[in-house]
Amino acid sequence: MGIKLFHKTQRDLASSINNVIDKYWNDEIEEEQMIGLVHNLYKNNDTKFLKDGDFTTVLKQQCGKRRLEVVNKILSNRNK
């Protein structure tokens, strides 16, 4: 799956997050692949993901609540 791991803007990052989560919801990729892609996106773009411990406003607007709930669970489980 051709997903860029390094993004220039938060909007580009949001688009990739949407793409990954939507492909998982449409059964086009497996759960483990989705989790790995989200981890890699976060690892390579951490300053574009979070601000003051919360998702950035651009990500909230572009990704929506349901997708960010999935991302939050993935990132929360990573830290355990």
Mean pLDDT per 10-residue interval, the chain, length 80 residues:
83 95 96 94 92 92 95 82
Residue listed under structure tokens 């909230």: 60
The pLDDT value recorded for residue 10 is: 94
Q: Which of 63, 48, 42 is nearest to 9 (CA)?
A: 48
The pLDDT value recorded for residue 32 is: 95
The pLDDT value recorded for residue 53 is: 86
pTM (whole model) above 0.75: yes
Extract the tokens encoding 50. 């979070």
The pLDDT value recorded for residue 4 is: 82
What integer best gives the mean pLDDT of the chain?
Answer: 91
